[in-house]
Structure 1
């Protein structure tokens, strides 16, 4: 495992981290705590030291699973969680309620069984929140009170990321970036580098599309967002297959498959592509069993991709994907 720098936090996270929505949340079909815990433990065995969770993943279940593993391991682990999506309704004005946001933080402190959160991220708030300095001032207060060590944001859009990094004490931005979502590299990474803001990449495999394991007739469970949120019915469409039409994504995957080196999985290839961008601090793919955890972490050992391969991936994006996603996120 290789390690990078997470902005101004002083942390050295594993370049492949662990996203725990899948093991503790309610939007990925059937879940098995024993398999999920085994996946997380295996990832740590492989050198992972950065784990991302959220208070709404399984209504705190994911946080509690992460806390259980942290207690059982001796390795130092960096735990990032998120807050804000518990607001009902989830509207920008709710983020001004300092008591409410503080209560979310205190609940995560209990779930994770810690005195201070390593990293709290606002959880994809409405765009208007990024123009509310009082929200970020309250996060500063929570740091001063010792409840947070660092804070950042998880965003849907590049424009939100650019606005967020104007706040001087914001340390990280979590953003969707993969071979179906190139806009962050084109329009955000340079600004983050200039301000020394850490970049956490989520949805790196486009909700599994970039594993190459899906077909046109693949069936997803009724409670899997890849079944019920393809058009943004429950939350932002960009969270499901990165906002790419499923059939279009399958066609692009077939073109990408031809570029994958022998002995490498498409998922590893997709993760290695992300690691070609030095601004990325860590990637947080999910894993629901130990084999998936090993597959993900193995990407850190792969050789750099050639200029020709990088150019070909860009061409596939420009030809098949750009028109669907570039202007929306």
Structure 2
């Protein structure tokens, strides 16, 4: 496993991390806690040291599972969590929810209890819209938490460049978490160059496009009720992306699967610190983690990728 610096934070992270959204059990179809624990354990065995979760994943359940894995080796693992969506998730009509620093700190402390730890390495604002009151409340709360030593780095999870700039108004933004993949290259326009220039670490969510870039989906694939992908087959873009994946398939081989190609692509960008694909089973984790040592993209690969996916920057 190769490691990278998380921006200017001084934190070293494995370039493949573990995304813990799916193990929350409420958004990605059936999942068993025992399998989730085994998946995370296997990730750590293979050199992963970065786990990303959030209070809203399974209404806190993901954090409680992460707690079981980091116990007795807390100092060896970089734990990232997020706050800011829980209140909106429960009652989206009640606005604003995180308009005062004390509300954010209370949510942070709830995460500490579920994670059974006294600090979080990277804590993200999980609200992607630019609500001035909530943004300022997060900035104030984050400054306090850093001063108290309860967080090592702070960030924002968003795909909105204006929000990134606003959040970094005083130069204290450490990390950005964003959606970036072969099928969504919008971040290349503004956010990734900005983060590289500012020394801001980048955590990539969605590097496998929620499974699309594993190459296992077809026009006949159906997703169960409760899965965030349930309505995908009815969307106009679904067949388009299936076709793009098929065209990218010529770059795969016995040494590099479709998913590993997708992970190598996002890791190829110099601004990226760590990619966080999810994994419900040890087998899925093994496929993800090995991407760290799979062949790099060459010029021929890059040319074909550009031909197939250039339009996804729009």
Residue of structure 2 in register with 1:145 after alignment? 148
CA–CA separation in structure 1 for the residues paired with 2:200 and 2:135? 20
8 Å Cα contact 1:173-1:198 kept in structure 2: yes
Residue of structure 1 in register with 2:68 after alignment? 68
- Name stretches of at least 5 consecutive residues in structure 1 with no aligned partner: 232-242
Residue of structure 1 in register with 2:229 after alignment? 226
The more displaced of 89-98 and 111-120 is 89-98
Deviations 1:134-153 (A, max 9, x none): 43122102222333222101
Q: TM-score, normalised by structure 2?
A: 0.92
Residue of structure 2 in register with 1:240 after alignment? none
Residue of structure 1 in register with 2:196 after alignment? 193
Deviation, structure 1 residue 98 = 2.2
Deviation, structure 1 residue 129 = 4.3
2:302 counterpart of 1:310? yes
8 Å Cα contact 1:165-1:197 kept in structure 2: no
Deviation, structure 1 residue 101 = 1.2
Q: Which residues in structure 2 correspond to 1:273-284 (within 5 Å)?
A: 273-284=265-276
SS in 1 for 2:58: coil
2:187 counterpart of 1:184? yes
The more displaced of 291-300 and 184-193 is 184-193
Deviation, structure 1 residue 12 = 0.8
Deviations 1:81-110 (A, max 9, x none): 000111234577322222221210110010
2:173 counterpart of 1:170? yes
CA–CA separation in structure 2 for the residues paired with 1:260 and 1:68? 36
The structure-2 alpha-carbon separation of the partners of 1:99 and 1:16, relative to structure 1 and needing over 3 Å to count, comes to same
Deviations 1:107-133 (A, max 9, x none): 001011111221110113322349843
SS in 1 for 2:177: strand
8 Å Cα contact 2:100-2:134 kept in structure 1: no
SS in 2 for 1:87: helix
Deviations 1:170-206 (A, max 9, x none): 1100000000111212322221112110000000000
Number of residue equivalences: 311
SS in 2 for 1:156: coil
- Name stretches of at least 5 consecutive residues in structure 2 with no aligned partner: none
Residue of structure 2 in register with 1:98 after alignment? 101
8 Å Cα contact 1:8-1:196 kept in structure 2: yes
The more displaced of 278-287 and 67-76 is 67-76
The structure-2 alpha-carbon separation of the partners of 1:74 and 1:109, relative to structure 1 and needing over 3 Å to count, comes to closer
SS in 2 for 1:249: helix
2:180 counterpart of 1:205? no
The more displaced of 157-166 and 76-85 is 157-166
CA–CA separation in structure 2 for the residues paired with 1:295 and 1:186? 29
Q: TM-score, normalised by structure 1?
A: 0.88
